């Protein structure tokens, strides 16, 4: 610092002016940069559609094999793709009190084709409850499967945007998520499903057509053609209600650190990562 001071004193008037002008430019640029960052962060809070985020860190990485024979959506487990696939569990309590095996048990398998992701789900639930016939009314408080999809595995906020999707599939097959206007909307053309229930065990089969963040409601949208080695953000969960006004448990497939676990419908960073393999 002292040597710098001596060096400045030794400069002629013109050089001093140039030096201080450069310092002034550097200070101005730094302030503007910080100001822009602050404004972007404020905009992100005011408008969740504003994308200000760091890259998602991949976790719960799972490789999913391509189905040579496309699974038939019939609520049965006898497709060749399911015989080769691995079972994964619904084993993370995101909301609610502890539950017993008699109350709930869930597991799932996955496969893919260029046209979409296929999911086989087996749920043991002693009570299937559907209190609201209107599919757009408090849909999360009925028994339902929830499938989370982030087409480009980018993570980030998606609560009121199509950066990612949180599909709620009701017992009657209706598919609900919030649209970009913060309104519940049916996305029945995104997911086809079939459920068969015997006793307290339900078998669901899903075909999930994948759309990216360019998807716009009430317009023609082209689904993605899936390819080998593609990464997709993914999680799945079950909303369980045995007869209460509100859901009693929310049981997911991905560990979420911290006290707040109900983040799947807001932040795609908590999704796991699947990699499509042949």
pLDDT tens for each residue of 50-59:
444 568 999 9
Among candidate residues 67, 62, 248, the one with its CA nearest the CA of residue 141: 248
Q: Report the distance separating Cα 170 and Cα 122, nearest Å.
A: 15
**Region of residue 276 (left: phi > 0; alpha: psi -120 to 50; beta: else):** beta
What is the model's pLDDT at position 244? 86
- Mean pLDDT score of the chain: 85
Helix (H), strand (E), coil (C) string for 4-22: HHHHHHCCCHHHHHHHHHH
- Averaged pLDDT, 227-232: 98
Q: Match domain 61-277 to its CATH number in 3.40.50.300, 1.20.58.100, 2.60.40.1190, 3.30.1380.20.
A: 2.60.40.1190
Cβ proximity of 201 and 237 under 8 Å: no
pLDDT at 1 over 80: no
The per-residue pLDDT for 239 is 95
What confidence tier does 243 reach under pLDDT thresholds 50, 70, 90? confident
- pLDDT, average across residues 221-248: 95
Instruction: Kindly report, residue by residue over 179-229, the tens digit of the pLDDT.
Output: 999 999 999 999 999 999 999 999 999 999 999 999 999 899 999 999 999
Question: What is d(CA 209, CA 226) in angstroms, rounded to the nearest whole number?
Answer: 10
| Whether pLDDT at 143 is above 70 | yes
Looking at residues 155-162, what average pLDDT do you find? 96
* Averaged pLDDT for residues 131-151: 93
pLDDT at position 55: 82
| Among the listed residues 206, 223, 253, the one whose alpha carbon sits nearest the alpha carbon of residue 112 | 206
Residue 162, pLDDT above cutoff 50: yes
pTM: 0.80
């Amino acid at each position: 610092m002292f040597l710098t001071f001596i060096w400045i004193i030794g400069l002629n008037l013109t050089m001093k002016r140039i030096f201080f002008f450069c310092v002034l430019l550097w200070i101005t640029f730094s302030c503007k940069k910080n100001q822009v960052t602050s404004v972007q962060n404020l905009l992100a809070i005011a408008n969740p559609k504003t994308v200000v985020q760091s890259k998602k860190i991949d976790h719960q990485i799972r490789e999913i094999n391509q189905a040579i024979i496309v699974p038939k959506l019939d609520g049965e487990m006898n497709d060749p793709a399911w015989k080769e696939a691995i079972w994964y569990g619904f084993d993370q309590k995101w909301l609610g009190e502890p539950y017993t095996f008699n109350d709930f048990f869930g597991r799932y398998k996955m496969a893919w084709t260029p046209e979409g992701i296929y999911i086989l789900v087996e749920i043991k639930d002693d009570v299937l409850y559907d209190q609201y016939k209107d599919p757009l009314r408090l849909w999360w408080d009925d028994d339902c499967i929830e499938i989370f999809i982030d087409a480009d595995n980018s993570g980030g906020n998606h609560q009121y945007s199509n950066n990612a999707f949180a599909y709620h599939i009701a017992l009657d097959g209706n598919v609900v998520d919030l649209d970009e206007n913060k309104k519940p909307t049916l996305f029945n053309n995104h997911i086809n499903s079939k459920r068969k229930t015997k006793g307290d065990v339900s078998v669901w089969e899903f075909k999930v057509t994948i759309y990216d963040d360019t998807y716009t409601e009430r317009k023609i949208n082209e689904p993605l053609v899936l390819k080998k080695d593609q990464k997709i953000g993914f999680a799945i969960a079950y909303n369980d209600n045995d007869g209460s006004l509100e859901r009693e448990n929310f049981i997911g497939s991905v560990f979420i650190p911290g006290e707040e676990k109900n983040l799947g419908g807001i932040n795609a960073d908590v999704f796991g990562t699947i990699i499509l393999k042949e």
